[in-house]
Structure 1
């Protein structure tokens, strides 16, 4: 292992020790109160009475210390966006899917090193060496199912269809566990594992075992015709004549990798549940927030549902989410008990940069590195 890798390993080991000692106590230092008048100019592109908007929250010590919304949630109805507006989270869903697996692992119903093929009937035979852990941290090497969905597809793909799509390949990008490559397929497969091991549909498992215990009253893994999204934002894309609807795509019905709808208001409860270990133990949460070391000695920079990196000596957790008509971001500094979430109902934009700028305001410093997803193959 090179010196850089040793330093990174030592840093995350120190964080694990600190987290184990402090649990849900207050942050290491009191964060400064920034001038919130500096926030509105950052969201000028979303602050239009005629365009799709954004909702934002800054969470410190388990409570919202800043919350605001801009623009419209529904252009046709001219419904303003609010902190209670529910957006399609896209890949911000992945921490919820990972949490479902973590709950089952704590109950002894599966192990992270179980072969997926031993748990899930119909998993392609060429993926025999793929483990649950590999799916969680994107080290499986499996292909992204979207590459097998033709542009002419009209019927929406669902999680169960991903197995058939994966069967169209005959190899992984690399031997499982040896490298990292972001794959939505992994989280669709994890949703199927949850259904199989948990004994109920994935959407119900999330509601009963994750959302409700965490205090998320209206967050939903949305299934058209089966569930309703309250105060729903609809997605849009910019065109030469203004914004036009772009709310669904052929892959929008896949739940495990991106099908949850929630609001920034609801996500305050989710963030608190993570920090107070309301769903899984502190040891399990530390495992989720510790990236594995690859055989070449480098960090995978992805745990269980979270990108993880070292930002100037602080652990930084993050995720972005992009899907048809929605672009979102979350950044979390667990030691400082600071989280920023930005949800938008438009394609494009860079809300992760806005989220980081808000975090920098509250931390009183500037981030030292770009978010790790920007260097990940196939992560958008």
Structure 2
């Protein structure tokens, strides 16, 4: 009987390799819209801490014909929110703030009608703040800053609901969280993220981009298809806000971020549990049961998308199977969540 055990194990390994090979072969078909001289994408599939797929498709820059690669840096848009949430959790661990602090403790410019809103509620989109996008002047063309967002919210006493009673996705809430990081740490948000998250994790090409600051290396530029042609649409009036969407990163650096979410190299076990646990129930978004801190939750799946003018991104994690898919793209279409989900499902164990 002993003679057959090694053979059985070899057959199992070979079967697994065949399955993985078939799955990898399927991926190029799923990514077909990103092939060629078109705005592209970078794709990462990680299983048990090892990259099964790490590829670029199409172009990062149509004008120079620069190819998209695993090192290409894309504007993460709302995928940024998980980093802003991590910054708040780090400050809470250090005693610099409490998740149950009233937001007006840190941002007294807000009207008294918002007195009850807490940091915890902003993290889980439970603050009820009016969307700053709806408060912007009509036909605005200049980019707005975090200070502009604060001025708009400071002048708006209304809210959608009483804090902690419902859910409404809020970019403005995460802009305020970025400002709280600055006030609690006495550092600029780009510096805090760089010194406390990016550098410790070896994410050497990731940064929170601000005009006049360090430039983005290997930068992907955003495009939108208009009348059958791809037009550069890299920036919009809301592309300069920071805590809700200003980070640029690559799939290579996102692999390091994913690895840090399994252990305490950045956040404590308690902090990660908070981030990945249902903090607010969600009833009107597809594939979302609840929201944690910077993460959407759907059954055993953690994920978040990021969309801004010319960029569509997603990270999907199956933590119990230690499987992650990251798909970053510099184009307005297609929306990548379904593609990334289909790719991940090919590597899931039954």
TM-score, normalized by the shorter chain, greater than 0.5? yes
Give the Å deviation of 1:198. 0.7
If you compute each CA radius of gyration, which structure gives the higher value, 1 or 2? 2
Aligned residues: 329
| Residue 96 of structure 1: aligned partner | 83
| Residue 3 of structure 2: aligned partner | none
| Residue 158 of structure 2: aligned partner | 171
* Aligned residues of 2:277 and 2:292 also touching (Cα < 8 A): yes
* Aligned residues of 1:89 and 1:328 also touching (Cα < 8 A): yes
Q: Aligned ranges for residues 330-345 of structure 1 at < 5 Å?
A: 330-345=315-330
| Residue 320 of structure 1: aligned partner | 305
Runs of 4+ residues over 6 Å off in structure 1: none
Give the Å deviation of 1:124. 2.6
Alignment of 1:307 onto 2:292 = no
Question: Does the C-alpha gap of structure 1 residues 117 and 259 become closer, same or farther in structure 2, counting only changes over 3 Å?
Answer: same
| Residue 230 of structure 2: aligned partner | 243
Question: Does the C-alpha gap of structure 1 residues 199 and 37 become closer, same or farther in structure 2, counting only changes over 3 Å?
Answer: same
Secondary structure at 2:33 match in 1: coil
Q: How does the TM-score come out when normalised to structure 2?
A: 0.90
Give the Å deviation of 1:159. 1.4
Question: Does the C-alpha gap of structure 1 residues 270 and 293 become closer, same or farther in structure 2, counting only changes over 3 Å?
Answer: closer
1:232-268 deviations in Å (ceiling 9; x for gaps)? 0000000114100100011101010000000011100
Cα distance between partner residues in 2 of 1:284 and 1:46: 37
> Cα RMSD over matched residues?
1.8
* Aligned residues of 1:34 and 1:362 also touching (Cα < 8 A): no
Cα distance between partner residues in 2 of 1:127 and 1:275: 36
| Residue 10 of structure 2: aligned partner | none
Cα distance between partner residues in 2 of 1:73 and 1:358: 22
1:93-152 deviations in Å (ceiling 9; x for gaps)? 000000000000000111111100012231232211100000000011111111112342
Alignment of 1:80 onto 2:67 = yes
Deviates more, 1:179-188 or 1:142-151: 142-151
| Residue 252 of structure 1: aligned partner | 239
Cα distance between partner residues in 2 of 1:74 and 1:303: 35
* Aligned residues of 2:172 and 2:244 also touching (Cα < 8 A): yes
Give the Å deviation of 1:364. 4.5
Deviates more, 1:32-41 or 1:283-292: 32-41
| Residue 34 of structure 2: aligned partner | 46
Q: Aligned ranges for residues 243-282 of structure 1 at < 5 Å?
A: 243-282=230-269
Give the Å deviation of 1:177. 0.4
| Residue 12 of structure 2: aligned partner | none
Alignment of 1:114 onto 2:67 = no
Cα distance between partner residues in 2 of 1:84 and 1:151: 38
* Aligned residues of 1:136 and 1:304 also touching (Cα < 8 A): yes
Unaligned runs of 5+ in 2: 1-15
